[in-house]
Amino acid sequence: MFAYLSLVPNSFGKIFTVTTWGESHGPAVGVVIDGCPPRLPLTEAEVQAELGRRRPGQSEITTTRREPDRVEFLSGIFEGRTTGHPLAMLVRNTDAQPAAYAEMREKFRPSHADFTHEAKYGIRDHRGGGRSSARETIGRVAAGAVAGKILRLAANVEVRAYVTRVHHVAAPALDHFPTLAEIEATPVRCPHPETAARMIERIQQARAEGDSVGGVIDCRVRGLPAGLGEPVFDRLEADLAKAMLSLPATKGFEIGSGFSGTLLKGSQHNDAFVPREGRVRTATNNSGGVQGGISNGEEIFFRVAFKPTATIHQPQATVDIHGVATELRAAGRHDPCVLPRAVVMVEAMAALVLVDHWMRHAAQNQTFKF
């Protein structure tokens, strides 16, 4: 009675194309990268490192699900280098607890994807959210690790995301491009230590209440040359917005001055051009590094809003699959705040957007001579 027209909705990117597959409680999750350049040195350990940052159970403020998330390369590598052919990566699911989800077979969890999956497909793997589980992002993070390496090696581009607000606890503006060490110094991934401590406290309090909190992640990119992005539909900020809103639990995106820039006048908001270091620079960066959809050589920065985790340990009013009002009691394991682990996902998605545009850009500067 139901059918499905998908049009590769599990793929992302036009040149460096990533296809993820897998469910929370199926045998495995994984990803295929088509379009990875050949001869890139690459080891499983490099991908494993990023998966380790995303991994559940890594600290006291994340879910208690314990998964080693060990990646296996299945193709596309020969003697330690990529071949230019599809790079397939596999991660087995090991700590699945389907029994914990028995109640969800019949009842829709509020603000989860249970009801919409049922409405769309007429069939639903209810265990742990199935395809809509955050485990799907393992494939994105694995692919993002490869994209990030290409950006660093070929282009000296660095992507760095970090938590700037958890619920009402906000960090002061950062006066420098943070190091990875500063971000990884605390499990909450906020590079301002005092704020980080208060954020952790806030998350632990939410967990104690059986509740959850959301917040804001900032992302900055340095080293990007001018010329990436397209002037009409495939603007760099448009592709970044799509990438970010494709992550679970996201509700907003802004680049450069964002929503607060709408309170400035044009004469205040415009970024004057100045000659500096032998090239065209801007005096300010309200544009967030993008003008007319194309990078201008300044730092890219954008901000992503994450809602509080939908899974909470409190009884909730809901409806069952027969349309009858009921109460949901069970919960399943979850993060009381997704932001610390989402930092890794934001970086991965940003790297996927940037490597795709970078590959177009790199090509375009050296080929045709008219």
Span 285-314, contacts to its own copies by CB under 8 A: 286-288, 291-297, 305-312, 314
CB 229 within 8 A of CB 322: no
Q: Strand ranges (DSSP E) for 270-331?
A: 273-276, 279-282, 290-291, 294-295, 300-306, 316-319, 325-328
Interface with its own copies by CB under 8 A: which range of 55-63, 171-179, 183-191, 259-267? Answer: 259-267
Q: Does 3 bind its own copies (CB under 8 A)?
A: yes
Write the CB contacts of 370 (distance below 8 Å, at least 6 apart in sequence).
none
CB 162 within 8 A of CB 189: yes
Q: Does 68 bind its own copies (CB under 8 A)?
A: no
Q: Does 243 bind its own copies (CB under 8 A)?
A: yes
Cβ proximity to its own copies: between 181 and 263 the closer is: 263
Q: How many residues bind its own copies (CB under 8 A)?
A: 172
Residue of the chain from 66, 70, 98, 122 that contacts its own copies (CB under 8 A): 122
Residue of the chain from 57, 68, 187, 258 that contacts its own copies (CB under 8 A): 258
Looking at residue 260, the DSSP 8-state letter turns out to be G
Interface with its own copies by CB under 8 A: which range of 50-58, 172-180, 183-191, 275-283? Answer: 275-283
Q: Does 177 bind its own copies (CB under 8 A)?
A: no
Instruction: Write down how long the chain is.
Output: 370
- Distance CA(314)–CA(25), nearest Å, equals 24
Q: Does 200 bind its own copies (CB under 8 A)?
A: no
Q: Strand ranges (DSSP E) for 77-144?
A: 77-78, 81-82, 87-92
Task: Give the pairing type, strands 300-306 and 325-328.
Answer: unpaired
Both tokens assigned to 283: 């005096």
Bridge partners, 207 (sequence order): none
Q: Does 370 bind its own copies (CB under 8 A)?
A: yes
82-121: contacts with its own copies (CB under 8 A)? 82-88, 90, 108, 110-113, 115-117, 119-121
Both tokens assigned to 61: 């403020």
| Sole residue written with tokens 């040195």 | 41
135-174: contacts with its own copies (CB under 8 A)? 136, 150, 153-154, 165, 167-168
Q: Does 211 bind its own copies (CB under 8 A)?
A: yes
Q: Does 195 bind its own copies (CB under 8 A)?
A: no
Q: Does 59 bind its own copies (CB under 8 A)?
A: no
Cβ proximity to its own copies: between 179 and 281 the closer is: 281
